[in-house]
Amino acid sequence: MVGAGYLGRFHAQKYASEAGCRLVAVADPRPEAREALALELGTTAVADHRELLGKVDAVSVVTTTPAHFAIARDFLEAGAHVLVEKPITETVAQARELITIAARCGRILQVGHLERFNPAIVAAESELAGARFIECQRLAPFKERGTDVNVVLDLMIHDIDIVQSIVGRPIESIDAVGTPVFSGAVDIANARLRFEGGCVANVTASRVSLKMERKLRVFRDDAYLSIDLQQRILTLIRKQATPPAPGGLPVAIDERSFEQGDALRAEIRSFLDCIATGRAPVVGGEDGLRALETAIRITRLLQGDRP
């Protein structure tokens, strides 16, 4: 486990409780962070991730984004499988190099786009084909954590990944607007993605809102899906095959709620299963690269909008 911060602690806890693996060590340059987490989980603490090269089969890299590339590269080249938090790397070139190294070394490279393991998203997969219009809102109160990158790379990238996995086509054009509010980077942004084939996605992300909200709406020719990612509620509104009774709505509404569950545990179990079976990860390096490319395009548009 590389990174003993807020999210790294959760990763480490999941590994420590999984029967199919053993948490070998926690690596972090901050002595107070690594020692406290290692003591909590009964494992070893090291200052430098390079002390673990060749000594572990797999690693989660949960550090600041600028550190992702070098750490993931070192472990892949040492023969370890890697789960790296999103965004995969700082640059597209770095992401492509990690993908190349993973393929050459025959190692799993998985990217931590956690929403792919949200039970409401998983349940909706069979209903998402043929999307014509998609709307995403991801709103959160301001926190210092995560402000090493702008809101596009911090929050919006989750929805960028989901939208691109739903549509499965190249992006034709992007319009974007955004502004900093409390940090030195963009804190609220909106992007409109137009895909080949005509689908349009309107994506909004904010880390300066008063409340948490994570919603996804997908419109097809014959149905409308509303997914509350935070509350784990899936609502499917479909045109009825037979005419309704007089005064009735011409639709059938199916609403399903899911247990809050543990998406991070599901993500880590999927990672461990890929290692054991050799199957491709749900969110592989190519998915992480695709989301990063789009997030960087949006970021460049936002930078061009500002003096």
> Range with the lowest mean pLDDT among 36-40, 176-180, 240-244?
240-244
pLDDT at 305 over 60: no
Where are the alpha helices (H) located in the chain, listed in sequence order?
6-17, 31-41, 65-77, 92-105, 119-124, 151, 157-167, 263-277, 285-305
The radius of gyration computed from the CA coordinates of the chain, to the nearest angstrom, equals 20
CA torsion 85-88-91-95 (nearest 10°) is 150
> For strand 200-206 and strand 213-219, is the pairing parallel, antiparallel, or unpaired?
unpaired
**Structure confidence at residue 145 as a pLDDT band (50, 70, 90):** low
- Residue 244 confidence (pLDDT): 67
Instruction: Identify the bridge partners of residue 205 per DSSP, sorted by sequence position.
Output: 138, 189
Structure tokens at 268: 């880590």
Is residue 193 within 8 A of residue 163, CB to CB? The reply is yes
> Range with the lowest mean pLDDT among 159-163, 191-195, 244-248, 295-299?
244-248
- Residue 80 confidence (pLDDT): 98
CA torsion 123-110-93-168 (nearest 10°) is -20
Is residue 97 within 8 A of residue 159, CB to CB? The reply is no
Is residue 266 within 8 A of residue 117, CB to CB? The reply is yes
Angle 232-176-154 from CA coordinates, rounded to 5°: 50
pLDDT at 17 over 70: yes
Whole-number average pLDDT of the chain: 94
Q: What would the mean pLDDT of 104-114 be, rounded to a whole number?
A: 98
The 10s digit of each residue's pLDDT in 181-214 is: 988 889 999 999 999 999 999 999 999 999 999 9
Interatomic CA distance for residues 157 and 289, integer angstroms: 11
- Residue 306 confidence (pLDDT): 47
Interatomic CA distance for residues 17 and 41, integer angstroms: 9
Where are the alpha helices (H) located in 108-259, listed in sequence order?
119-124, 151, 157-167
Q: What percent of the chain has pLDDT over 70?
A: 96
Q: What would the mean pLDDT of 247-276 be, rounded to a whole number?
A: 91
Give the contacts of 210 (CB within 8 A, at least 6 positions apart). 141
- Residue 201 confidence (pLDDT): 98
What structural domains and CATH numbers belong to the chain? 6-107 (3.40.50.720), 116-261+293-305 (3.30.360.10)
pLDDT at 307 over 70: no
**Structure confidence at residue 153 as a pLDDT band (50, 70, 90):** very high
Interatomic CA distance for residues 71 and 264, integer angstroms: 21
> Range with the lowest mean pLDDT among 65-79, 106-120, 247-261?
247-261
Is residue 70 within 8 A of residue 59, CB to CB? The reply is no
Q: What would the mean pLDDT of 278-290 be, rounded to a whole number?
A: 98
Q: What percent of the chain has pLDDT over 90?
A: 87
Q: DSSP character for 183?
A: S
The single residue listed with the structure tokens 């060590």 is: 25
Is residue 212 within 8 A of residue 102, CB to CB? The reply is no
The 10s digit of each residue's pLDDT in 210-243 is: 999 999 999 998 899 999 999 999 999 988 777 6
